[in-house]
Chains A and B, each alone.
Chain A
Amino acid sequence: MMHIGHQTNTLLLSIATFVYVVAMFFYLFGLVFKKKYLDIAGFVVFVVGFLIETAGLAARWVESYHLDYGHIPITNLYESLIFLSWTIALTYIIVDLKYKIRKLGFPVSLTAFIFMAYASFSPDVSSRIEPLVPALKSNWLVFHVITSFFGYAFFALAFGASVFYLISDWYTRHTNGKVLAYLPSTKILDDMSYKLIIIGEILLAIGIITGAAWADYAWGRYWSWDPKETWSLITFLIYVVYLHLRYSWGWHGRAAAIFAIVGFGFVLFTYLGVNLVLSGLHSYGSA
């Protein structure tokens, strides 16, 4: 039986960080040299990285029980960054298996790497397993964090698809209608970005609702205009505007892609900006 040592989880997570970089380079070379086998190699390495990260998170979970704290590893800034990269990685793998959007692997592996590297190497982020304050001891924590983070992940992929859309669209317009062969067609990218946003929006809505339900159980008020709450609502509303522009005004293509990219800025601010810039409840307890 493998003994789960004190550093097992951080070691595994560091290895996963490294593997994601390797995957990123395969994907990058795949884009540059337009060789299919490089994309496949990138995907295989990426999946390996994802599995190692999964093992790292699992080890961390087990280890928290050894420390007598016993909680799911999604409760401080370090764990949240790792978990976000994990949800983005898993979402990408699922979407790729269903829709064959392998080229998104480059921005996805880059993003997964950035979040993990920030978690591992930033002096501001402590990788210690910390005990839970009483307010966080609730089953709502699990539903709330998982739905919110998968929401973020889908928005992140929509962002990637939209960036690809703009690249592909730009190329076509500057080459008298030639098509960028190594990216999916603009039609597919537009449709994909839209569908990813829809799933992200539903997950974000569930995340907001589970958060409100939790607050109601803990304090008897489901909404208190805390900055994180307010920003998650703002992000939700941004994509509400996107969907209405799409349905009622037929916005699509370049305008929709730019909107989705700007929208992701709101997602990022809701996730990180609120905690780093503003003050409020969701402090990740990381002093």
Chain B
Amino acid sequence: MDKIVDKIWRFFSSVKLAIVLILIIIATAIIGTVIQQGLPDEMYMKHYGMSVFHVLNAFDLFDMYHSWWFELLLMMFIVNVIVCTWERLPAIFKMFSNPKLKLPVEHLNAFKEKATIPYNGSRQTLIKNLQQKLKEIYKSPIHDDSKEGDYLYLEKGRIARFGPYVTHISLIIIFVGVLIGSFFGFESYLNLVPGESSDVVRTLRTNEKITLPFTIKCNHFNVEFYNSGIPKAYKSDLSILSGNTLVARKVIDVNKPLTYKGITIYQASYGQAGASNFSLALQGGDHNVENDVSLNLHQLYHIAGDTSIEVLDYAQNYQGFGPTILVGVYKGSKLMNTGIYLQKYPDFHGAERVDGYTIKFLKADESFYTGLQVAKDPGAPYVAAGAIVLIVGLIMSFFSYRRRIWIFIPDSPSSQSFVIAGVADRNKYSFEMEFEKIVQEIKKGVNV
């Protein structure tokens, strides 16, 4: 049993696994950007055909980022990060509390950056001179001695060694935040026509009903457009009601939400709300009179004899021709004919003159509903904190690097030279130049 646990532990403690997992995550994540996610099944069936649809659907490829296998990959990656961090962090702490002040000469000679420097005078004077000089140009060395001789030890950029761990821990914090969010939070939407109120919202992906601990009322909704027809701003004037008591009121805007009791209401979208009022001009008849009429959707209007008309449908921008209505012509209660009328092109009309009348579509009074997104995410602060820690960790890792330098002065009457050697965890090239400079300075310093 212990053996199995040990094996699993070792499996998850490897950096190789991390690389493999990241590469698999990359490869699979690409699939979800090629296949559009979260569309209705019918669209996929039409696009891919039934047989391909079934295969892709079996692998959850239409909602792959929430599929069991993708979440399993992410979970394995997090376990990998946790185990790697757990495994290596104690060793790092130990390394710092107990640095290797002394290394055998053979080790020192094996380093790429090394030099042997001759000196005159006594060892004691040399050590004092070196301490002085190093303090000036680099940092104060730690002195230690052994039977073989004296050691001076220098270390810089220790913080960089912690950087990767800070970065990895930040991933764990973010993961905790994501978990909290998925267990205790929700994402939902709510569409309201001005004047309407509701305390029931529907979740985004699964369309389940959620009852809020308060009621949202839309007092007003307003859309402004640029001349080009692109929306400029849309704002909802919302009231939050607890029972019948008004507890909050705010005009929300895109990027300016309203938060109440940990639940945030966002201005996400807007849309055409069914019934509108239409202005039409009718011209003709016996006296060729022109009269303007105002009609609601599906309101019958009597023209002459047993003929009447009705606005059957409205489109804000029908095939690029702008505001358009579909008008039905009735004889008695029988629909005889339909015609399309364009506000921008009054001379185009699909229907013949209706009993000697021409119809012009003057304008529509559009009414909109506001599209609200209602969300609660108690995990978000953790994710935000994790993100900040991530950046701190990256900066710690990269804007410094750990390097160690040893100086060994052998205790032998025959030798009038000492060894200096160093090693850097990273940035070997920068260290090479740094080391070179230190050696030059020391050579100048000790042989005055």
Please indicate the chain B residues that have their CB under 8 angstroms from the CB of A191 in the complex: 427, 429-430
Neighbour of A237 across the interface among B22, B254, B429, CB < 8 A: B22
Q: In the complex, what residue of chain A is closest to B16 when comparing beta carbons?
A: A248
Query: Which of A77-85, A90-98, A226-234 touches B?
Result: A226-234
Interface string of A208-246 (1 = CB under 8 A from B): 010011101111111001010011011001101100111
The answer to the question of B414 belonging to the interface, with a C-beta cut-off of 8 Å to chain A, is no
Known interface pairs A135-B254, A198-B398, A202-B391; A219-B373 also in contact (CB < 8 Å): yes
Neighbour of B232 across the interface among A131, A187, A213, A230, CB < 8 A: A131
Interface string of B217-237 (1 = CB under 8 A from A): 000000000101011111000
CB-based contact B391/A206 at 8 Å:
yes
Query: Which of B28-36, B110-118, B404-412 touches A?
Result: B28-36
CB-based contact B254/A218 at 8 Å:
yes
Neighbour of A221 across the interface among B22, B232, B375, CB < 8 A: B375
CB-based contact B429/A190 at 8 Å:
yes
The answer to the question of B15 belonging to the interface, with a C-beta cut-off of 8 Å to chain A, is yes
Known interface pairs A237-B25, A238-B26; A209-B33 also in contact (CB < 8 Å): no
Interface string of B321-354 (1 = CB under 8 A from A): 0000000000000000000000000000000000
Known interface pairs A134-B233, A222-B380; A209-B255 also in contact (CB < 8 Å): no
Please indicate the chain A residues that have their CB under 8 angstroms from the CB of B266 in the complex: 218-220
Closest Cβ of chain A to B185, distance in Å, is: 9
Please indicate the chain A residues that have their CB under 8 angstroms from the CB of B429 in the complex: 187-188, 190-191
Roughly how many angstroms separate A187 CA and B428 CA in the complex, as a whole number? Answer: 10
Please indicate the chain A residues that have their CB under 8 angstroms from the CB of B210 in the complex: none
Roughly how many angstroms separate A201 CA and B387 CA in the complex, as a whole number? Answer: 14
The answer to the question of A88 belonging to the interface, with a C-beta cut-off of 8 Å to chain B, is no
Interchain Cβ contacts within 8 Å, total number: 107
The answer to the question of B257 belonging to the interface, with a C-beta cut-off of 8 Å to chain A, is yes
Closest Cβ of chain A to B277, distance in Å, is: 26
CB-based contact B230/A227 at 8 Å:
no
Q: In the complex, what residue of chain B is closest to A141 when comparing beta carbons?
A: B255
The answer to the question of B23 belonging to the interface, with a C-beta cut-off of 8 Å to chain A, is yes
The answer to the question of A133 belonging to the interface, with a C-beta cut-off of 8 Å to chain B, is yes
Roughly how many angstroms separate A191 CA and B431 CA in the complex, as a whole number? Answer: 11
Known interface pairs A209-B387, A222-B383; A217-B255 also in contact (CB < 8 Å): yes
Q: In the complex, what residue of chain A is closest to B27 when comparing beta carbons?
A: A234
CB-based contact A244/B394 at 8 Å:
no
Interface string of B251-278 (1 = CB under 8 A from A): 0011101000000101110000000000
CB-based contact B380/A216 at 8 Å:
yes
Neighbour of A241 across the interface among B19, B267, B398, CB < 8 A: B19
Roughly how many angstroms separate A219 CA and B426 CA in the complex, as a whole number? Answer: 42
Please indicate the chain A residues that have their CB under 8 angstroms from the CB of B32 in the complex: 225, 230
The answer to the question of B155 belonging to the interface, with a C-beta cut-off of 8 Å to chain A, is no
CB-based contact B187/A221 at 8 Å:
yes
Closest Cβ of chain B to A168, distance in Å, is: 15
Roughly how many angstroms separate A188 CA and B387 CA in the complex, as a whole number? Answer: 32
Known interface pairs A138-B255, A187-B429; A279-B394 also in contact (CB < 8 Å): no
The 6 closest A-B CB pairs, nearest first, are A220-B375, A134-B254, A191-B429, A227-B33, A225-B65, A198-B398
| New A-B pairs, 5, CB < 8 Å, besides A138-B255, A140-B255 | A133-B230, A134-B267, A205-B391, A219-B266, A225-B37
13 contacts between A and B (CB under 8 A): A134-B255, A137-B233, A138-B255, A190-B429, A206-B391, A216-B380, A220-B187, A220-B264, A220-B373, A225-B65, A237-B25, A241-B23, A247-B164
